Structure 1
Amino acid sequence: MTRLPLVLALVALSAHSAAANDLDGTWLRDDGNARVRIAPCGDKICATNLWIGDSSKGEAAGDKLVMTLARQPDGTFSGSAYDAKRDWTYSMTITAKPGALTTRGCIAAKLICRDVNWKAVE
């Protein structure tokens, strides 16, 4: 589970536009150890590491998570996230509030999950 920082960061074409509006931006992880940029990439959404303070867990600047997310009735975004560096696919849920995100990334049929809080970088 030490390789989930980017995933926990850090989301169908119509859902892409809605997600991009709410999630697009630069985000700082709550422990201050990662900065990511969330932006459209083709018909998906990408979270790209801009800066990693502790690279001992295998994370590096430039690593990218490609997400396919759809807005849910409760306002969250959920779907999948693919980490090409590790060839892993995660279940992903993102809750967006003004200036803040909470990401929940899960593997192993949602048996192993981790939540991470993010704040918008101004």
Structure 2
Amino acid sequence: MKAPLLAAAVVLSSLASAAATDIDGVWLRDDGNARVRIAPCGDKICATNLWIGDTSGGEEAGDKLVMTLSRRADGSYSGNAYDPKRDKNFSMTVKVSEGALVTRGCIVGGLLCRDVNWTAAK
């Protein structure tokens, strides 16, 4: 009876590790207006607002961005993101460096893009 439980624990542990990425964690946006947790959510990755300083732009704590990202050969990620609050889809890339991220979201076939710098929260 112990062997099947141990085997199940090993399988679940390996699945959890496979879902984790080096972008997982809590990140601070460079404008000081957002604190976000990036973590697996099912087979996708979610960025969830933990704190928003100025909510006049419509952002609120609890808002999520659902990302489907694939790792590239250079270590960055690319894919798509969906903002359920605004019902918007866009392409996305994430460049990772030690303690920092740069996210780039694009709409209109990549004609309109915005880069945002993030630092790891301490």
> Normalising TM by the smaller chain, what interval?
0.7 to 0.9
Aligned to 2:10: none
Misfit runs of 4+, over 2 Å: none
Deviations 1:4-25 (A, max 9, x none): xxxxxxxxxx9x937x321000
Q: TM-score, normalised by structure 2?
A: 0.83
Aligned to 1:35: 35
Q: Does 2:45 align with 1:45?
A: yes
Structure 1 or 2: larger helix share? 2
Give the 3-state SS of the residue equivalent to 1:75 in structure 2: coil
**1:81 — aligned with what?**
81
Matched position secondary structure for 1:60: coil
**1-structure distance, mates of 2:56, 2:108:** 23
Separation in structure 2 between the aligned mates of residue 21 and residue 78 of structure 1, nearest angstrom: 13
Which has the higher Rg, Structure 1 or Structure 2? 2
Structure 1 partner of 2:98? 98
Residue 118 of structure 1 corresponds to which residue in structure 2? 118
**Structure 2, unpaired ranges of 5+:** 1-14
What percent identity do the matched residue pairs reach?
70
TM-score normalised by length of structure 1: 0.83
Equivalent residue of 1:70, what SS? Answer: strand
